[in-house]
Amino acid sequence: MTEEWQMDIKGYGLIRVSKELLTKLCDFRQLAKQSPESGGVLIGKHLNSAGVLLIDQLTPPQKSDKQGRCEFYRSTEHNKLVNDIWKKSNKHSTYVGLWHSHPEPIPNYSLIDKQDWQNALIQSKFEGDKLFFVIVGQTHIRIWMGVKSTLRSEISIIGEYEIGK
């Protein structure tokens, strides 16, 4: 059984990834030879207690996205979905990051991924100064935290989750 994934970040606090979201992320693993990259947006709630952030929703791949074995292009459709979820939740559920899959066991970000993340930190609107970036590998899920800065946004790995453990 999958438990909630928790990371205690020094100087920030507890980041929680819900059990349900972990299960959903695992479903997008590229286990078959022909399965394409998937991706979307991460949605979470900023909490007053029991952690600072609960990441508990995602937007799944959309028809307007471009999905290849080793590429994923995220369309603007995801922004609309996030906006709908935000409104319906009374502004509690908000955009907190991005996710996508990789056809490798333990995922590492590519140069394009890093550029995409840097752009998200600079160009997108979000609460606070941090965004979270998840890559779903075949055996592990990894998560990076990006901190927005006027000079160069800092991106560092904060967690690794072994699937099925």
Residues that bind Zn ion (CB under 5 A): 110, 113
CB of 58 to Zn ion, least distance (A): 16
Residue 52: CB minimum distance to Zn ion, A: 26
Specify the residue, 16 or 100, whose C-beta has the smaller distance to Zn ion: 100
Residue 162 has which token pair? 């072994």
CA end-to-end distance (rounded Å), the chain: 8
- Dist. CA 85–CA 73, nearest whole Å: 21
DSSP state of 52: S
3-class SS shares of the chain: helix, strand, coil, % to 5:
20, 40, 40
Q: Where are the beta strands (DSSP E) in 65-129?
A: 66-68, 71-73, 93-101
- Of the pair 39, 44, the CB lying nearest Zn ion is at 39
Q: Which is nearer to Zn ion, 110 or 149 (CB)?
A: 110
**What is the nearest approach in angstroms of Zn ion to the Cβ of residue 72?**
7
**Residue nearest Zn ion by beta-carbon distance:** 113
Closest separation between CB of residue 50 and Zn ion, Å? 31
Interacting residues of 5 by C-beta distance below 8 A, sequence separation 6+? 16, 17, 22, 159, 161
* CB nearer to Zn ion: pick between 56 and 113: 113
